[in-house]
Amino acid sequence: MTTYFEGVDAVKYEGPNTTNPFAFRYYNKDQVVLGKTMAEHLRMAVCYWHSFCWDGADPFGQGTFERTWHNASSVQEATDLKMDAAFEFFTKLGLPYYCFHDVDVAGHLETPDELSNELARAADRLAQKQEETGVKLLWGTANLFSHRRYMAGGLTNPDPEVTATAVRQIRECMDTTMKLGGENYVLWGGREGYDTLLNTRLNTELENFGTLLRKVVEYKHKIGFKGKILIEPKPHEPSYHQYDFDTATVFGFLQRFGLEKEVHVNIEPNHATLAGHSFAHEIATAVSLGVMGSIDINSGNYQNGWDTDQFNVDIKDITLALIELLPSGGLDTGGFNFDAKVRRQSSDAVDMLHGHIGGADCLARALLAAADIIEKGEIESFKANRYKGWEGTLGKMILSKETSLADIADHAKKEGINGTHNSGRQEHLENLINLSIK
């Protein structure tokens, strides 16, 4: 083990009154909430890319982080230094999972053979680290967006040679994910879309995407991978328009290719707001359609129109999402992955700990608030009363397969039905939410 985070002890739960900045105030992994421990509900993971690959650069300035592996003499040395620091971090933070792209753990290499060889070497070392620490892999994914060959997409590229390269990368990353005991496999389509329709055959790309996604699912079953295949919705950036715009769009795409029972979604709050939705809306949609998979927990800057990947410290936002998620049983193979990065001015290594500790505590506080709301039952009771008419004679008649549109209209006319409005009590319900956030 390295001592990149030397001077920081293992992070423990010390309660709300602690003055230790390197302690959890609310995340008590063994505390039982709604029949499960916090650890079982939240299944938190640290992402490799923002935490250990990004150097703090932005489009207007060079990197601000001085990590030892950023100046390594070779890709292999960088891989090893980064991995040592990562598992030191995972262990000290005490969260159970991590996530990676293939190039995060193997390096950005020019040829498929180079990437394949280095990924195999890195995977052996990752397996050893997991065995030593007990940290597990929540999911892996292939990076089909950084290399210049993927400027027009991976599985939707107009050049079949590029697509074949992408397929090879997916297979090798799926094999690696399975070898490491990963519980899901993600496809993030950052470039599966277009910048202009002037050079794009949209239907060709969608047909190719659906055909190849079906082959991914077939390969999952062939190798005996038990985890979920996940697609991550996002409307745009880096592409002008991405085919996986939001959860509803992804579901329609999956239905088109008969994959709605095979593929689920990995939801990100920052992507939800970019699509014009709330985090809670995307969760509720995924739950209602039966495609809820996992969550990349972060937030955007509401003054910006792009993906800023900040740590989500909005307890109310997370609470509203959890009251949609928890009644469905919560997450099974999925988890809350901190797809978030410290700000480029937060340049010290310990800032990574502050970000993740704060993120974990916000999740815990939101979990407690959501559990309180669910246990009180006031909101659910209000909803049940608001919709109770659909359980009565008229509601059942309207929805019956035996009645036509004309039947319903005739009945309304005959009975002199003149529907009246009842208050939605939004302000009262919002007050109830706030009362449970402590």
Q: In the numeric block, which tokens belong to residue 308?
A: 């800023």
Distance CA 407, CA 417 (A): 14
Determine the length of the chain: 438
Question: Residue 353: CB partners within 8 Å, gap ≥ 6?
Answer: 5, 8, 11, 22, 89, 92, 93
pLDDT for res 318: 98
pLDDT for res 237: 93
pLDDT for res 277: 97
pLDDT for res 2: 56
Q: Answer yes or no: is 317 a known binding residue.
A: no
3-state secondary structure the chain: CCCCCCCCCCCCECCCCCCCCCCECCCCCCCEECCEEHHHHHCEEEEHHHHHHCCCCECCECCCCCCHHHHCCCHHHHHHHHHHHHHHHHHHHCCCEEEEEHHHHHCCCCCHHHHHHHHHHHHHHHHHHHHHHCCEEEEEECCCCCCHHHCCCCCCCCCHHHHHHHHHHHHHHHHHHHHCCCCEEEECCCCCEECCHHHCCHHHHHHHHHHHHHHHHHHHHHHCCCCEEEECCCCCCCCCEECCCCHHHHHHHHHHCCCCCCEEEEECHHHHHHCCCCHHHHHHHHHHHCCEEEEECCECCCCCCCCCCECCCCHHHHHHHHHHHHHHCCCCCCCEEECCCCCCCCCCHHHHHHHHHHHHHHHHHHHHHHHHHHHHCHHHHHHHHHCHHHHCHHHHHHHCCCCCHHHHHHHHHHCCCCCCCCCCCHHHHHHHHHHHCC
Q: Answer yes or no: is 159 a known binding residue.
A: no
Distance CA 33, CA 218 (A): 38
Q: Answer yes or no: is 30 a known binding residue.
A: no
pLDDT for res 362: 98
Active-site residue list: 101, 104
pLDDT for res 417: 97
Q: Which amino acid does the sequence have at 401? A: K
Q: Answer yes or no: is 354 a known binding residue.
A: no
Q: Answer yes or no: is 296 a known binding residue.
A: yes
pLDDT for res 343: 97
pLDDT for res 12: 97
Q: Answer yes or no: is 192 a known binding residue.
A: no
Among candidate residues 356, 326, 351, the one with its CA nearest the CA of residue 339: 356
Strand partners, 32: 37
Q: Answer yes or no: is 307 a known binding residue.
A: yes
Would you give per-residue pLDDT tens digits along the chain (438 residues)?
457 898 888 999 999 999 999 999 999 999 999 999 999 999 999 999 999 999 999 999 999 999 999 989 999 999 999 999 999 999 999 999 999 999 999 999 999 999 999 999 999 999 999 999 999 999 999 999 999 999 999 999 999 999 999 999 999 999 999 999 999 999 999 999 999 999 999 999 999 999 999 999 999 999 999 999 999 999 999 999 999 999 999 999 999 999 999 999 999 999 999 999 999 999 999 999 999 999 999 999 988 888 999 999 999 999 999 999 999 999 999 999 999 999 999 999 999 999 999 999 999 999 999 999 999 999 999 999 999 999 999 999 999 999 999 999 999 999 999 999 999 999 999 999 999 999
